[in-house]
Amino acid sequence: DGGITQSPKYLFRKEGQNVTLSCEQNLNHDAMYWYRQDPGQGLRLIYYSQIVNDFQKGDIAEGYSVSREKKESFPLTVTSAQKNPTAFYLCASSNLNTQYFGPGTRLTVL
Partner 1 sequence: QQPVQSPQAVILREGEDAVINCSSSKALYSVHWYRQKHGEAPVFLMILLKGGEQKGHEKISASFNEKKQQSSLYLTASQLSYSGTYFCGTESEGGTSYGKLTFGQGTILTVHP
Residues near partner 1 (CB under 8 A) are 31, 35, 40-45, 48, 50, 56, 58-59, 90, 94, 96-104, 106
Least distance (Å) from partner 1 to the CB of residue 5?
11
Least distance (Å) from partner 1 to the CB of residue 87?
13
The CA distances from residue 77 to 1, 2, 40, 101, in Å, are 27, 25, 24, 18
Q: Which is nearer to partner 1, 48 or 74 (CB)?
A: 48
Tell me the DSSP string of 61-107.
-TTEEE--SBTTB--EEE-TT-S---EEEEEEEEETTEEEE---EEE
Q: Which is nearer to partner 1, 26 or 50 (CB)?
A: 50
Q: Which is nearer to partner 1, 17 or 41 (CB)?
A: 41
